[in-house]
Amino acid sequence: MKYSLKLGKGIPQFWKPPLIRDLDCNKILNNNKKYINEVIKKRFKYSFVSPSFPVTCEDIKMRGYYPEVPQSNEEAEFPLAFAINIFHDYLKIEQYFLLMYAPQNHFCYAIDKKAKKEFKDKIYNLKKCFPNIYIVEKELPMDHSGVNGNWYNYECMKLLNGTNYKYLFIMEVLIWTLVNNISNLQRKVLGDERLNNQVIMNTKLEIQKGFLESAFPRETIDYIVNKLNITTLLNVLNSGLKFCDEIFWPSIMTSPQLQIPGWQHYKCSKNTKFSYYYYTRRSIYTSYRNCPTKKIRNGVCILGIETIHELKKCPQFFGNKFFSEFDAGGTACWSEYIYQKKFFSYFTGIDKAFYQKSPLLKYQIYKKNITNLNKVCDLALL
């Protein structure tokens, strides 16, 4: 236990596996080059936790603090939801759940059908301990190409439909045209005049490629779940096409025919400045030579203890990505850092400048009053 002045009581310290407890995370976070160079010679790593790893509710709550009430009025009035596709590494999932946890938040997990039974059992044990965890019952196989990733997102959206969240995070745009009619997305609401407009219904959907990881306001998700039938398009894209999970959300959210709440015209995406100011995910696209950890996956530099000090400066919501089987020490040190900030440090505000100058934000503001969408794209870049 450790006393928190912020909370006015003692709470559990962040739990780290015995293998990692001697790692000096402060030196790593402070970018002590000498220490980091020594540690990377023998990285701490694991690929799974033992089947006997304790996951009773008591055990879980000894590994971190789970508040029973919101920590502020702002948190209470702005509950979040998370739709997360998972397949392995129970400990990291539990730790990330701990870091994102608040009693008003909601968490939906979709488990790869191919995942090991002991992994699934541990996730279901976690669910027993918290009423705000949901698990998609129908299991589907996932793979590196993204198959069933969007389906699982959609199933989580439906499971969360009755909750009170304000924003949903999906956790897991080069342009080309796919011959696919907009009629693959049939609106459910009777009387919508767009259903009778053959120009709109026969328009090809401009396919965009982006990230699976996304963040949507409640209004957007309500529209997708309650007013659209997206199943046909999901089936079309869920065909084994490489990275198909990175196509669906960018495509429907940039369609001028669908105009889903919060949408942005696909023509804006031709300017790379729009892509630069994304919020949800931080990825380091670089070469092996320029990757600090010298570990590349799908063109992305995998995070490790060499990159942690830089993560503190990033304005995005999530980083992509840590692998425990590559550098469990990096995962643990970063998680401990966030845990300390959450429960032991006082909030000092954020640098709003990055967000305020974002073309993504400006676009949504200008779009409310300007009908010329090409002009909106240009104004948002000023």
Over residues 229-233, mean pLDDT: 88
d(CA 55, CA 191) in angstroms, rounded, equals 51
Residue 248 pLDDT level (bands cut at 50, 70, 90): confident
Report residue 102 as tokens.
Answer: 């608040």
Asked whether residue 333 is domain-assigned, the answer is no
Q: Which domain holds residue 122?
A: 48-280
What's the pLDDT at 7?
95
d(CA 271, CA 318) in angstroms, rounded, equals 23
pLDDT at 98 over 90: yes
| Structural domains of the chain, count | 1
Asked whether residue 242 is domain-assigned, the answer is yes
pLDDT at 178 over 70: no
What's the predicted TM-score (pTM) here?
0.88
pLDDT at 269 over 60: yes
Residues in the chain, total: 382
Following DSSP, what letter does each residue of 93-141 receive, concatenated?
HHHHHHHH--TT-EEEEEEBTTS-HHHHHHHHHHHHH-TTEEE-SS-B-
Return mean pLDDT, the chain. Answer: 87
Nearest to 159 by CA among 114, 113, 110: 110
Asked whether residue 331 is domain-assigned, the answer is no
Asked whether residue 56 is domain-assigned, the answer is yes
pLDDT at 189 over 50: no
Asked whether residue 261 is domain-assigned, the answer is yes
pLDDT at 306 over 70: yes
**pLDDT tens-place string over residues 131-141:** 999 999 999 99
pLDDT at 193 over 70: no
The percentage of residues in the chain with a pLDDT greater than 70, rounded to a whole number, is 91
What's the pLDDT at 24?
96
Nearest to 147 by CA among 238, 242, 237: 238
Asked whether residue 291 is domain-assigned, the answer is no
pLDDT at 104 over 90: yes
Asked whether residue 1 is domain-assigned, the answer is no
Report residue 274 as tokens.
Answer: 């729009």
Identify which has the larger pLDDT, 145 or 218: 218
Residue 202 pLDDT level (bands cut at 50, 70, 90): low
Nearest to 88 by CA among 333, 300, 323: 323
d(CA 175, CA 356) in angstroms, rounded, equals 26
Alpha-carbon dihedral 65, 66, 67, 69, rounded to 10 degrees: 180
Q: Are 119 and 113 in contact (CB under 8 A)?
A: no
pLDDT at 116 over 50: yes
Asked whether residue 184 is domain-assigned, the answer is yes
